[in-house]
Chain A
Amino acid sequence: MAANDITVKLDGVSKSFGEFTAVKHLSLGVRAGRVFGLLGPNGAGKTTTIRMIVNITAPDSGSIHVFGQKIDSQIQDRIGYLPEERGLYRRMRIVDQLRFFAELKNVRGKMVEQKIDEWLARVKLSEWKNKRSMELSKGMQQKIQFVTSVIHDPDLLILDEPFSGLDPINVELLKEVVLDLKRAGKTIIFSTHQMEVAEKICDDICLLNRSQKVLEGSLREIKRSFGRNSVAVRCEGGDGVLDDPALVSKLVRHADEAQALLAEGADAQVLLKRLIASGAVIGKFEMVEPSLNDIFITKVTESA
């Protein structure tokens, strides 16, 4: 990996607040033009890591480089940041807010007006341009908050739980926007604890737990390394078989199907035969990759 391919590089970064260590000796690299998932349970140190990247707070030790340089205010202007704690000025018109946030990134002039119109159209809120944000619904406000983080056309976009609280249609809309930005060559850091979302849009992931990194790499490789040791089953009956610890180490039941993690040394074929022998009616029996959620839970419980 050439150095200029790395947009964000952390080397041995630690940060503590008094007694509490938020991030402990963290090193990671975010590759340019990819979506990087910074994952972990609540309190793992994701937000602190991000705040250090955007220069809101400084690490106690270690170094952080963005675009190959130590962070300064010029570099800060090339970053777009949507924090988890976010809001809008209640009494300010949407267009004024967006212009203000662009000005804070040293972007002004005609281009901004054009960008505002483009983005409002993109998130389907053009007709709300001159309304005050207090008149908007919560979902609309969230989309505007997203726009505030991209209005200055940043090369690095950092999104902390961008989809929380959005309805599925808007999640889909913003997901498309994020993937478009990636296609346009932007680097995106995506922080969440919602694994289903991360699974769909991340190229690379870094898993944090208790202020330390437990896993890093490309999502595809990570999944491959975990192997196909899960079976998605939809069947009627056969409960006794699925509950047999010699065959299935873990069983997660969803609405109409179940996911069975095979026990050490257990064979999927044996499981299938046993199910048939028990008289179960099988609708689906498929070897699957472990979901990111499974990997996450496995890793987090391992490191605990």
Chain B
Amino acid sequence: MSKFLAVVKREYIQRVRAKMFIVTTVLLPVVMSLFGIVPVVILNIDAGSPMRVAVIDQTGKMYQHLNEALVSEESEQQNANTGRMGRSRPFGNFILEPIDPNQSPERIRTELEQRLHSRSLDGYVLIPPDFLEHGQAEFFNRNPGDVLSTRMLESALNRAVREQRLIDARVDTRTREELFKPVDLQAVKVGATGQERDSGGSFALVFGIGFVMYLSILMYGQVILGAVIEEKETRIAEILFSSVKPFPLMMGKLVGVSLVALTQITIWGLAFSTFALYGVNLLASRGIGTSLPRIPFSHYVYFGLFFLLGYFIYATIYALVGSMVTTAQEGGQLAMPIILILVVSFYLFFPVSRSPDSTFSFWVSMIPFSAPVAMLVRIVTQTPPFWQIALSLLIGFGSVLVIMWIASRVYRVGMLMYGKRASIPEAWRWARQA
């Protein structure tokens, strides 16, 4: 046991002390917050002055509708943004200017083109007389790359056309308003305790946990692989084996590296929470209430346990691969299928969430590789009986030990054989005598 702890300590301290670790641990939250802040700042800068657009309405009916549509479009956009980000993004403001369509088209053109050149105008829209039938208009501007403004105009024109067509079909104002009233679909969970409102929060959490699991495996799988190979590459393995048995050595490496991973994830998690909390406060200060999804405490425990299970089950596979190969490059190639399994089991999220009680869902929540995501989805949708959760955890962590046990045998046989692959009876005999 004390030798196992010595290995854990070495792996942990050596890695946490490394410059790389410190730099990435500090840098990621900084970069993350930059990614959060910079786009907002940039979009705010871009807002600048509103866009001056002249409208040549040859139908004679569209200008008024277009103007109204643009105003409501803008206010909706702003609502959506404040809802999501807690910031207003006053981009895409338009100032419309009607042009008398009864002048000769050439004169209008030359005049408008001149104004475009002198920058007293940003663009003009030509709405042809048959617009209501064919729905084709043109937007002339200096900067066709400004997709945002074009889309906004397009959407406003859409609205305006719909409005006019309804008027033409003699639909009265009230009916028109009724027709455009938006819907709000709320997902309501039916649980043992009756109905409770759950706006997808726990789903998002499960998805988040799956994602963090996936990321930590991507980042730390290779580290574990490297840690297992380290003694082979530096030729320390034989010295170690005269002092410590392979199993505590392998477990020590796995646990040591995993503690490093957890340290980093915890630091990032704290940074992220601080950032999120800041955002929530900002929203609250603008009068927008946000609340964390109501989740029973037991679920948090399950989140933790299944996250650990997911992490360890994949980490052990990396350790197993490491025990079989002699160089990190070899290991990298062999590790590719692991990522594939990981991705596949991640996508099981969707079928399981659709029918969490099916036989299929039961089995994938028992298989260690898919259990973490599948079982969590089941827990937040239709919590399965406790024995199923316990069994899934038992199978999972049991598999971790078994895989590590196999890995340590393979490692040892590999070292003694100088790369020769051991037959199963040989490996079995070694296994028994340790």
> Which A residues fall within an 8 A CB radius of B?
17-18, 51, 54-58, 73, 76-77, 79, 81-83, 85-92, 96, 100-101, 103-106, 145, 148-149
Contacts and interface: CB of A to CB of B under 8 A. Distances in A.
A104 B235 contact: no
B12 to A, nearest CB: 12
A301 B431 CA distance: 39
A87 B242 contact: no
A101 B245 CA distance: 14
A76 B242 contact: yes
A181 B239 CA distance: 20
Task: Label chain A's interface by main secondary structure.
Answer: loop
A94 B433 CA distance: 34
30 contacts: A18-B420, A18-B423, A51-B238, A54-B242, A56-B241, A56-B242, A57-B430, A58-B433, A76-B242, A76-B243, A81-B238, A81-B239, A81-B242, A83-B238, A85-B235, A86-B235, A86-B238, A88-B234, A89-B230, A91-B14, A92-B10, A96-B10, A96-B13, A103-B6, A103-B9, A104-B3, A104-B7, A104-B244, A105-B243, A106-B3
Contacts of B416: 17, 51, 56-57
A58 B2 CA distance: 24
Contact of B236 (A55, A89, A91, A96): A89
Give the interface residue-count category, chain B: 20 to 34
Given A81-B242, A92-B10, 9 more contacts: A18-B426, A51-B238, A51-B416, A87-B235, A90-B234, A96-B10, A100-B10, A104-B7, A104-B244
A55 B238 contact: no
B393 to A, nearest CB: 32
A65 B90 CA distance: 85
Given A91-B14, A103-B6, A85 B234 contact: no
Contact of B239 (A73, A92, A101): A101
Contacts of A106: 2-3
A74 to B, nearest CB: 12
B6 A104 contact: yes
B342 to A, nearest CB: 29
Identify whether the interface residues of B are mostly helix, strand, loop, or mixed: helix
A82 B13 CA distance: 25
Contacts of A17: 416-417, 420
A175 to B, nearest CB: 21
B166 interface: no
Contacts of A76: 242-243
B340 to A, nearest CB: 32
Among B234, B417, B426, find the residue whose CB has the most chain A CB atoms closer than 10 A. Answer: B234
Nearest to A77: B243
Contact of A104 (B18, B238, B240, B420): B240
Given A17-B417, A104-B243, A106-B2, A92 B14 contact: yes
A17 B244 CA distance: 23
Nearest to A48: B416
Nearest to B429: A58
Contact of A100 (B6, B235, B417): B6
Contacts of B420: 17-18
Nearest to A58: B433
A103 B238 CA distance: 16
A55 B241 CA distance: 8
Contacts of A54: 242
B236 A86 contact: yes
A85 B230 contact: no
A178 B309 CA distance: 50
Nearest to A152: B243
Contact of A83 (B234, B242, B244, B433): B242
B427 to A, nearest CB: 12
B337 to A, nearest CB: 29
B218 to A, nearest CB: 23
A56 B237 CA distance: 11
B147 to A, nearest CB: 50
Interface string B14-38: 1000100000000000000000000
A18 B2 CA distance: 35
Contacts of A73: 245
A148 B234 CA distance: 15
Nearest to A145: B239
Interface string B410-424: 000000110010010
A132 B212 CA distance: 34
A90 B231 CA distance: 10
B423 A87 contact: no
Contact of B234 (A57, A87, A149): A87
A74 B416 CA distance: 22
B323 to A, nearest CB: 16
Contacts of B14: 89, 91-92, 96
A105 B240 CA distance: 10
A55 B234 contact: no
A17 B2 CA distance: 32
Interface in B240-261: 240-245
Contacts of A55: 242
B231 to A, nearest CB: 8
B239 A89 contact: no
B228 to A, nearest CB: 14
Contacts of A149: 239
Given A55-B242, A83-B242, A89-B230, A103 B3 contact: yes
A145 to B, nearest CB: 8
A51 B236 CA distance: 14
Contact of B238 (A85, A89, A91, A92): A85
Contacts of A58: 430, 433
Contacts of B433: 58
Contacts of A91: 14, 18
Nearest to B241: A56
Interface centre among A18, A56, A76, A145 (most CB of B within 10 A): A56
The 8 A-B pairs at the shortest CB distance, nearest first, are namely A87-B235, A103-B6, A104-B243, A87-B234, A81-B242, A83-B238, A54-B242, A56-B241
Nearest to A148: B239
Contacts of B417: 17
A70 to B, nearest CB: 12
A175 B302 CA distance: 61
Contacts of B238: 51, 56, 81, 83, 85-86
